[in-house]
Amino acid sequence: MKIFLAQQNYHIGNFEHNTQQIIEAIEAAKKQGGDIIVFSELCVCGYPPRDFLEFDDFIEKCNSAIDSIKAHADTIAVIVGAPDKNIIKQGKDLFNAAYFLADKSIKSIVHKTCLPTYDVFDEYRYFEPAYEWNIIEFKGKRIALTICEDIWNLGDNPLYRICPMDQLMEQQPDVMINISASPFDYTHDEDRKATIKANVVKYKLPMFYCNAVGSQTEIVFDGASLAFDKYANLCGQLPAFESSLQSFVLKEDGTIDAPIIEPASRMPDKELNPETLEESLNIAQVHEAIVMSIKDYFSKMGFSKAIIGSSGGIDSAVTIALACTALGAANVRAVLMPSPYSTNHSVSDAEQLSKTLANPYDILPIKNIYEAFLNELNPVFNNLPFSIAEENIQSRTRGNLLMAIANKFGYILLNTSNKSELATGYGTLYGDMAGGLGVLGDCYKLQVYELAKYINRTNEIIPVNIITKPPSAELRPNQKDSDSLPDYEVLDKILFQYIEKRRGPKDIKAQGFDGALVDRVLKMVNVNEYKRNQFCPIIRISPKAFGVGRRVPIVGKYLS
């Protein structure tokens, strides 16, 4: 049996676009003699559709798309994901479903059992779990069809009470097929492979796994769809971070012929669970994920040009370099806005970066605007000493200038704040925290430096001086980040243990960190939730990013 995996980049609610590319892949697979073509979870509408699912019109458009697709399921069977209405009065109104289309009709509809409601997932808000589990018979094969989370309920501490594959095994299937929308993070690639392999080992059946690809605002899908034979050999993997159509031949003995072979010896035997920041990052994957996310955000929003405040610091430099890769240098405008406290080398470093990248840039000194603010505020400030108020005026002046240019010329402002700054509140609301998309908001400061080194891996794009000089906001004389924050070598490790690993102060202190410092850092994180709550969407590259996947109270007293 010839089975095609079609990992594609969908646009939520863009039914015409999604349906067209699904049909094009079906026709391509038919020409190559395919028996089955598999698409990803909720591919018809795009994942995650969130509250669009509450609109009857949205569901009707999903159904119309299924009708259009099934007309092409003649000489080939098609598996697509879409919502399905629940005809039982009790429970949610919809199921998350996989449609098995053949002979130009709907032959079977499989409902998702395990509905993730954690981190970025909120499926139980919309969907009802499956009531029944049945295999699908097609061309002499008995297919166990599942949806994403349905294959993750393994291990010593299962999250759900029902394991769909255990139910399906009673009907003696020959092959497992899973359609997924499994988001990327820098640990999840190996987790995913290990989970799929664990299913194959447990059930002794081959598995075809089709994952979505592309970015949906903050959530990144990396594709990397997989095929395992019944002996748990990884027989093929589709490329990461790009659309792809790949065929596999399932043989009678449960083995798989495929043109892309990856040795099983590279597979982990258990779930990867990195404990430290240093063990976590695959920098090449993170680079690809962020570049794809910027590209998708702009194309799906209908924008083409970005504007970025260029300070001569590491964060803005890395953001500009990533944006130039994603959008083309001509479409990335850098604005240098030196203040009275900016150093000469910061301006020259920022200029050198843009000259190397060949992106347009402007220099707009803010000294006169800043002094005008101070003059107008003098009667109110009443000659009080210089403080954070004067620092934030500079930052908000820059934000105002950037947004003015963005409005005038139709740019999207890319934010340059990193995760360390966002965690500790080291940023100015409506100033350097302004923007339409947080490019580095899920990268700790140390990880930003790793990205800079990766960008410079073949030649010097980011000036070395930007990478080696001490980081500074340059909002007061001789200012350095270390004046307000612990050293990033220590700070980032504490933040990682608290945010990603969800460890409390006692456990973090037991790792050897100074007790008073741990208390101070955790307090900074929790009292600054109000700032993060007003921040723009952040590209998610870690297992626990700020945004929709991390929900904590703004006015909570815990550790604050």
List, by residue number, the catalytic residues: 41, 112, 148
Structure tokens at 385: 């000493």
Q: Rounded distance, CA 367 to CA 369, Å?
A: 6
The region, left, alpha or beta by phi > 0 then psi within -120 to 50, assigned to residue 447 is alpha
- Where do we find the tokens 């703004």? 554
Q: Give the count of beta carbons closer than 10 Å to the beta carbon of residue 177.
A: 25
- Strand ranges for 26-160 from DSSP E: 36-38, 77-85, 94-102, 105-111, 136-138, 141-147
Residue 301, C-beta contacts closer than 8 angstroms, at least 6 positions apart: 412
Q: Are 387 and 380 in contact (CB under 8 A)?
A: no
- CB burial readout 9-44, b (16+ within 10 A) else e: bbbbeebeebbebbbebbeebbeeebbbbbbbbbbb
Q: How far apart are CA 264 and CA 233, in angstroms?
A: 5
Specify the 3-state DSSP secondary structure of 322: helix
Q: Are strands 412-415 and 437-438 parallel, antiparallel or unpaired?
A: parallel
Concatenated DSSP letters of 503-554 = --HHHHHHTT--HHHHHHHHHHHHHTHHHHTTSPPB---SSS-SBTTB---S
Please tell me what DSSP assigns to residue 352.
Answer: H
Asked if 466 and 312 count as a contact pair (C-beta separation under 8 A), the reply is yes
CB 23 within 8 A of CB 228: no
CA distance 302 to 17: 14
In whole angstroms, what is the distance from residue 444 CA to residue 418 CA?
Answer: 6
CA–CA gap between residue 117 and residue 129 (Å, rounded):
12
Q: What is the DSSP string of 369-410?
A: HHHHHHHHHHHHHTTPPP-HHHHHHHHHHHHHHHHHHHHHHT
Q: What tokens does 510 get?
A: 């037991």
